[in-house]
């Protein structure tokens, strides 16, 4: 009974739904402030101290609006699918060292990778369920980039999992995070493999999260916001929530596998470990925001060609070196 209660608390409160909402508010405020400074603007300043509650105010404003769709849209299934996408991202965090009672097992990385696939496809389904010429183009672009970026990201994650499996990682995200720092110093070939996998994994993450230069699905001046064109009110709020949650969970997994996991914290101290992981996640998120603010946008064919030409060879080479 205690185990079930812990699971419910972790899923609903920390590090689950409530804490994810808090993280979304903070990270979106940080993203707006940072991108505004880069572009010589002020960013949010009114809602809350230093404007930190502006993302929450915007979300509540959307939720309070009337739910309106065109006559060709699906009514219920998009909300269900997006809710499922949000749910799997919350569950994925329970397999990370940020949880005070993490869930882990041998080969649980397979389940986590499947969870990471559900979220972007939920965004694509949300788009195509509300048909519009711009939405269709945006969804097609998104799926094209996703088809090449997700395999690169998943293949890159295999490298630290393979290396750490020799010291008890058991292809578990949590167990690997406790040994991730050692993957960089296991040997010369392992170090090179980690460098290559970090680069390819980061490129794959950029594509999966629709961060410049791979945000062809959201080209505002070209296809009028793409995948989100036909959305408004609560449905747009759901889509944003899923997108923002994905921009927390994927950098967090990237941090625990490629940036040393819980190191330099003591793995037996979950509070220190969680703090280290969150700090590393914020660092990765900040890099994503900077890239999104300063880089130009690729054309759809350029985005796919770039990932195929550079990210795939790096990921394959990293896997081969990790097996040596």
pLDDT, one tens digit per residue, over 198-252 is 999 999 999 999 899 988 877 666 666 677 777 878 888 988 999 999 999 999 9
Q: Does residue 156 belong to any structural domain of this protein? A: yes
65 assigned to some structural domain: no
> Does residue 58 lie in a domain region?
no
Low-confidence ranges of the chain (pLDDT < 70): 1-2, 219-225
> What pLDDT, on a 0 to 100 scale, did the predictor assign at position 85?
93
Q: What is the DSSP string of 161-222?
A: HHHHHTTT-TT-HHHHHHHHHHHTSS-HHHHHHHHHHHHHHHHHHHHHTT-TTS-GGG-HHH
Tell me if 288 is assigned to some domain: yes
Count of the separate structural domains present in the chain: 1
Cα–Cα distance, 29 to 287 (Å, whole number): 15
pLDDT at 268: 85
| Domain-located, residue 59 | no
pLDDT at site 172: 92
Domain membership flag for residue 60: no
pLDDT tens, residue by residue, 94-110: 999 999 888 988 999 99
**71 φ, ψ to 5°?**
-70, -15
pLDDT of residue 225: 66
What is the structure's pLDDT at 1? 46
Token pair belonging to 95: 């397999």
In a domain, 67, yes or no: no
How far from each other are the two terminal CA atoms of the chain, in whole angstroms? Answer: 45
Domain residues for the domain of 167 are: 2-53+74-323
């Amino acid at each position: 009974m205690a185990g079930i209660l812990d699971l419910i608390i972790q899923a609903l409160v920390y590090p689950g739904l409530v804490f994810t909402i808090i993280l979304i508010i903070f990270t979106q405020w940080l993203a707006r402030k940072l991108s505004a400074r880069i572009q010589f603007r002020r960013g949010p300043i009114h809602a809350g101290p230093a404007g930190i509650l502006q993302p929450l105010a915007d979300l509540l404003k959307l939720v309070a609006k009337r739910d309106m769709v065109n006559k060709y849209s699906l009514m219920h299934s998009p909300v269900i699918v997006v809710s499922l996408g949000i749910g799997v991202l919350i569950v994925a965090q329970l397999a990370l060292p940020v949880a005070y009672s993490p869930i882990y097992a041998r080969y649980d990385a397979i389940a986590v990778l499947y969870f990471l696939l559900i979220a972007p496809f939920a965004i694509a389904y949300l788009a195509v369920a509300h048909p519009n010429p711009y939405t269709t183009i945006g969804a097609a672009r998104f799926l094209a980039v996703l088809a090449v970026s997700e395999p690169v990201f998943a293949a890159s994650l295999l490298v630290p999992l393979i290396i750490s499996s020799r010291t008890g990682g058991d292809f578990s995200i949590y167990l690997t995070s406790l040994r991730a720092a050692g993957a960089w110093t296991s040997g010369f070939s392992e170090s090179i493999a980690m460098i290559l996998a970090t680069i390819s994994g980061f490129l794959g993450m950029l594509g999966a999260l629709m961060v410049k230069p791979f945000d062809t699905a959201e080209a505002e001046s070209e296809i009028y916001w793409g995948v989100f064109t036909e959305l408004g009110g609560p449905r747009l709020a759901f889509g944003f929530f899923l997108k923002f949650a994905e921009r927390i969970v994927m950098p967090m997994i990237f941090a625990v596998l490629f940036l040393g996991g819980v190191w330099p914290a003591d793995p037996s101290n979950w509070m220190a470990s969680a703090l280290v992981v969150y700090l590393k996640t914020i660092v990765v998120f900040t890099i994503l925001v900077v890239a999104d603010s300063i880089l130009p946008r690729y054309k759809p064919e350029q985005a796919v060609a770039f990932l195929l030409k550079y990210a795939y060879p790096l990921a394959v080479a990293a896997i081969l070196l990790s097996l040596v």
